[in-house]
Amino acid sequence: MMDNFMTLEMLSTFAGLVIATGLIVQFTKDIVKSKFSDIYVRLYTFIISLILTFVFACTGYDIDNIILTIINSIIVSITAMGGYELISDPKAKK
C-alpha cells in the first residue's frame, strides 16, 4: 500500500505528470479565466505541463531531448484537459 500521495518518482511518469498538471490547472484556472478567454486556459495547461515535464522528466538538454520534451508536454496537456472534460461533463455538446 502506498503511503505517499505524490513522489518524485511518480512525477517523472506520464500518469504523474497528467495528474499534477490537471490538479494545478483546476485549482488555478479561475485566475486565468477571470482575465482571459477560455482558449488561454488551454495555453496555460500547456505551459504548466511544459514546466513540469522539463523539471521532472527531461532526460537531457540537447536539441533532440528538448524536442521530445516539448512533444511529451503536448501529449500531457491534451490528456490532462481531456481527462477533466471526461469526468466533469461527459455528455456535453462540443
Query: Which pLDDT belongs to residue 52?
Result: 96
Nearest to 47 by CA among 24, 13, 14, 64: 24
Confidence category of residue 14, pLDDT binned at 50, 70, 90: very high
**pLDDT at position 94:** 56
Q: How far apart are CA 35 and CA 68, in angstroms?
A: 32
pLDDT range class, residue 13, cuts 50, 70, 90: very high
Please report the pLDDT score of residue 10 as a whole number. Answer: 87
User: What crossing angle do the helices spanning 14-35 and 39-56 adopt, rounded to 10°?
Assistant: 140
Q: How many CB atoms lie within 10 A of CB 46?
A: 20
- pLDDT at residue 87 greater than cutoff 80: no
Q: What is the tens place of the pLDDT at every residue in 44-57?
A: 999 999 999 999 98
Query: Own/partner pairs for 39-43, CB < 8 Å, 24+ apart?
Result: 42/77, 42/81
